[in-house]
Chain A
Amino acid sequence: MPRPSGAPYAPFILVFFLFACLSVQSQVKDFSPAAQDDPFLTSLSEKYLRQYKENLDRLPSKNKKDLVEAYQHRWENIKEKFDKKEIYTSKAAQGYLDRLAGAIRQANPSLANVTLSCYFSRSDIPNASYIGEGIILFNMGLFERLDNESQAVFVLCHEMAHFLLRHSENSINQYVASINSEEVQAELRRIQRSEYQKHAQVQSLVKGLTFDSRRHSRDHEAQADSMAVQLMRNTRFALSGALSTLALLDVIDVDTLNTAVCLPAMFNATEYPFRKKWVARNEGLLGGHTEMRDTAMADSLKTHPDCQKRTALLVNLMKGWSQPGAVKYALDSANFASLKGIFRYETIEYAFLADNYTRSLFLTLELLQAKPGDPYLVAQIGRLFNGMYAAQKGHTLSKVTDLPSPGYPANYNLLLQFIQHLYLEDISSINYYYLKQHHPQMDGYSPFKNAFEQSEKLMKN
């Protein structure tokens, strides 16, 4: 799901001078993606593979095959994070994250001996997760939306709580135990023997298991929140960050880029004027594409459902708590702000590398509204359109773009509709005339020059 643009972050000029003395990349204006440390990723992946195999050996013999299969699913997900280079290897960013996690550990002696590692994920999805094998991923898409360090600390504490409470392992054990229980097996045998209405019977059985599973999942979030504030309470980071994070998560899927205004404004060249039909909704079933009518369903599909209920529970829990001397920034506010700025670019870059061109385009357009004429962003538009041209020509566009769907916010859907309406000649012309506005001023910037030259070639096709 595309991330909406967040609250305006610290004015760029102000933080620029602070950046100069910091170890992280100092000039977002001339952004270039951090070089990925592939040997480091490989060694990490191998380390976790060994750990995963050792853990498999320690599984109980009862229902072992099913347990192994479930852990295998979990491992494949972890492996994918390394294989697809989702984990961010910038030493400066990793150093900052280690220091944040270290501050939590230091304040909570119970965490001193646990094997737990936190990494930044280059995903723009506003989320963080404990993915197993002692790995917490903090998505850049969430980090760059946060307002202060205390919110980042709450997010880390929440994921640490999932780890400490063994939620993932408990879910696997519980599922395997349920499906292998005498009760469920007897029911399955009975259904297998019956000639008629198997579906209804299976559905009834599945419904029971599903209800349990969902209830536990929601309980897990509330439990993790409760433990997170307990961990956070011992630190110097303000507990108010927990409540403000949940408030932020509740609305984090709302997109704010008005594509109906942005697209015609950006891609209306005199030589190739914007066409209204590019953003017209197709008259398909239910008027172009399906819409989410069920509000309960819409909430459950949010990246973070039930935030208001979780907030109420925390407010109740923290009644009467005091935290003298707690602050929103207890570590490094300049570094925090710097990383937020960089991450907006890194998510654009990673969405492109992960073959999700429409997400990358949405993020690029969104940031361009705040930074018109930014060389990286202008060149990125060129790369994306050139990439979409090649994909459409090779009949693989669907592999690098999303299709309109009721699960997406309206503005992102409009962008998807726009891409769906374009033919090859539209893609090449829109791109060429857009880039031409910045030629020759940006020719000194090689990503721009490459993108422009490529678009010129495509125009001649």
Chain B
Amino acid sequence: MSHNRKIFFLSLLTAAFGLMSAATSAQSKLSIDKVYSAYLRNSGTISNQGQIKGYFFLYQSDKIDKHTNEYTLQILDENLNKVRSIKFQDSKKLNLLESSYNGNSLSFLFKNEDEKTLDMKIYDMDGKLKNTYSRGYDKKTDALMKQYETMHTDEGMNKNVFDIGNQGYVSVLPMRDGKQRTYEVDYYSSEAKKQWTYVPSDDAEKYAFAEYLGATDSLIILEVLKKNHALSGNVTTHLVGINFVTKKKQFDIDYAADNYKLMPTYVAPLEGTGNVLVIGPYYDKDDNVGKDFSKGLAIYEMTTAGKFVNKTYNSWTEDFSKYLATNRKGKIDDVGFLYIHKVIRTPDHKMFIVGEGYKRQANAGGIALSVLAGGNVGVTKIVVTDMVMMEFDAKYKVKAATIYDKTNNTAMAGVASDYNSQHTLAIYLKMIGAFDYDFTTGEADNSNFAVCYSDYERSSDYKGQTFNAIRYNGSKFTTDKIPLKSKASTLKVFPAKAGSVMILEYFKKDKRLDFRLEKLG
């Protein structure tokens, strides 16, 4: 008996007929499925505080008139049960960008290309529309947004819409005004009809790129990279806190007075202290974060007013080299440089940081072509290497590091790989989805978590793609692997509820999608 839930695109329609599907007995005879079909437009996960709580599927269920379609938004819970089916009419050019859940409402961010609006629709748990917030975007912004949409994020994880607890949602939007690049932060209340936009009016810089790092009960915290003009290599890094109660910027830290510059990649409230933990690679004060090598990993404790009360540095050359063979540039033997994907803190005050290696290698083909053609052919290539799990003690000092081997994966080859800096390369690799890290799934308190990544295996038993997990059960790490070869035309693995993954199999011949949840071992 197969117990996996199956979703057929026509299930809404054909369910009423039970076993008997309409069929034709002659060419002139028509059946329901020949007259009507629904199309899946978008699908994705519904998350709450980083935990997967469900899935959405947006179908185009009808054409109403020349400009309008009917859509059906089907919502599944974390166990793949149908929760709600919401029908609405909207523009033909509608895309559902992301969804989020904050415990008492569901938010969906739509992009309406006809009206050039971003529409945030907030539904209550009965599927009733509570509020719609609309904001316009122009052509230039759209181009930037499209680029933003195609950028890779960890599979199935939100990149634009985030829940900030019971109060509502926030989205961070890249903007372009002439040659100036900037960003805006939209706040959407789920309690009452209330929306406001934070525009960074006090930034003199022409180029600012913002990334959402996290939130407290009153703060939205962003990492903002700024530079004066497009060609400037002098990138400054800022930690910006926006108070969503006062609607004002609470702090903007540029580390000018510090010995080191921090490039924050993770923030989270520190339970019981009211402070916030800020983690990321650090650089010498005069270094250019766009070009120079990082010194190591810094872990700061910060008040919500933006004051640092504790700073801990783990340098590649002194601290990490005890556990990993590291040179003075922070390059680890065989692994290369580390890109930090995830920071995980456990209830017993341990902290783990997940990194993935990348390094520049001689490109044999490129060298040969370069010699033969004498032309502009890259002589190096960038390869993505192994996963590295680092453990830190309660004082934020590194106490262990383990390398998890995987097959080296050529991420890019060409002239660009010859000249770009370590950090620029990492950002580019992340943007194009070249890293093998997929996502981390686990209990809400991280007492049990699994770091998931893709690999390619070539062995006598198996040759092909694999989905892998490094699981921590509260006391030790184990590994797990799912071979991705199956009878299905396509097999993909998506994040799911704590400790599980959702395996999606598409059977082209049967036009069938199977979903099932599997626990990682």
Chain A contact residues, CB within 8 Å of chain B: 63-66, 69-70, 73, 77, 84, 172, 175, 179-180, 185, 188-189, 191-192, 195-200, 202-203, 205-207, 209-210, 213, 282-286, 289-290, 354-356, 392-393, 395-406, 420, 422-425
Which of A63, A203, A207, A424 meets B25, CB within 8 Å?
A: A63
Partner of A403, one of B65, B70, B79: B79
Q: Nearest-CB distance from B69 to chain A (Å)?
A: 10
With A and B bound together, what is the CA distance between A69 and B25 in angstroms? 10
A62 to chain B: closest residue by CB: B25
B80 touches A197 (CB 8 A): no
B257 within 8 A of A: no
Find out whether the CB atom of B448 lies under 8 angstroms from the CB atom of A423.
yes
Instruction: Give the docked Cα–Cα distance between A45 and B57 (Å).
Output: 42
B357: min CB distance to chain A, Å: 27
Pair A398/B32 contact, Cβ less than 8 Å: no
Interface of B toward A, CB cutoff 8 Å: 1-5, 13, 16-26, 28-32, 34-36, 38, 46, 53-54, 61-65, 70, 75, 77-83, 101, 103, 106, 125, 448, 473, 482, 497-500, 503, 516-519, 521
Considering residues B4, B28, B61, B519, which has the most beta carbons from chain A within 10 angstroms of its beta carbon? B519
The CA-CA distance from A398 to B3 in the complex, in Å, is: 6
In the bound complex, how far is the Cα of B18 from the Cα of A69, in angstroms? 14
Query: For residue B493, which residue of chain A has the nearest CB?
Result: A395
Task: Specify which chain A residues have a CB less than 8 angstroms from the CB of B46 in the assembled complex.
Answer: 285
| A-B CB proximity, top 8 nearest | A199-B62, A210-B16, A188-B30, A65-B25, A398-B516, A284-B78, A285-B77, A403-B79
Find chain B residues with CB under 8 A from A207 CB: 16
Q: Is the CB of B77 within 8 A of A284?
A: yes
Point out the residue from B21, B81, B482 that lies within 8 Å of A290, measured CB to CB: B81
Question: Contacts A179-B31, A285-B75 given: A423-B62 contact, CB under 8 Å?
Answer: no
Q: How far is the CB of B122 from chain A (nearest CB, A)?
A: 15
> How many angstroms from the CA of A258 to the CA of B164 in the assembled complex?
38
- Nearest to B125 among chain A residues (CB) is A286
* A392 adjacent to B17 (CB under 8 Å): no
Q: Is the CB of A399 within 8 A of B4?
A: yes
Do residues B517 and A290 form an inter-chain contact, with CB atoms below 8 A?
Answer: no
Q: Which residue of A lies closest to B481 (CB)?
A: A395
With A198-B35, A423-B499 given, name 14 new contacts (CB 8 A): A66-B25, A188-B31, A197-B70, A198-B36, A199-B36, A202-B35, A209-B16, A213-B16, A282-B78, A285-B77, A285-B125, A392-B518, A395-B482, A399-B3
Whether B31 contacts A196 by the Cβ 8 Å rule is no
Which residues of the other chain, B, contact A423 by a CB distance below 8 angstroms?
Answer: 448, 473, 499, 519, 521
A210 to B83 CA separation, bound complex (whole angstroms): 23
Does A282 lie within 8 Å of B62, measured CB to CB?
no
When the two chains form their complex, are residues B81 and A206 in contact, meaning their CB atoms are under 8 A apart? Answer: no
Given A210-B16, A395-B503; A192-B35 close (CB under 8 Å): yes
A354 surroundings in chain B (CB, below 8 A):
1
The answer to whether B521 touches A393, judged by C-beta atoms less than 8 angstroms apart, is yes
Chain B residues with Cβ below 8 Å from A70 are: 20
CA separation between A393 and B65, bound complex, in Å?
A: 52
Q: Which one of B17, B38, B78, B103 has the highest number of Cβ atoms from chain A below 10 Å of its Cβ?
A: B78
Q: How far is the CA of A202 from the CA of B519 in the complex (A)?
A: 40
Beyond A70-B20, A210-B17, whether A284 also contacts B36 by CB under 8 A is no
Smallest CB separation, A288 vs chain B (Å): 8
A66 adjacent to B23 (CB under 8 Å): yes
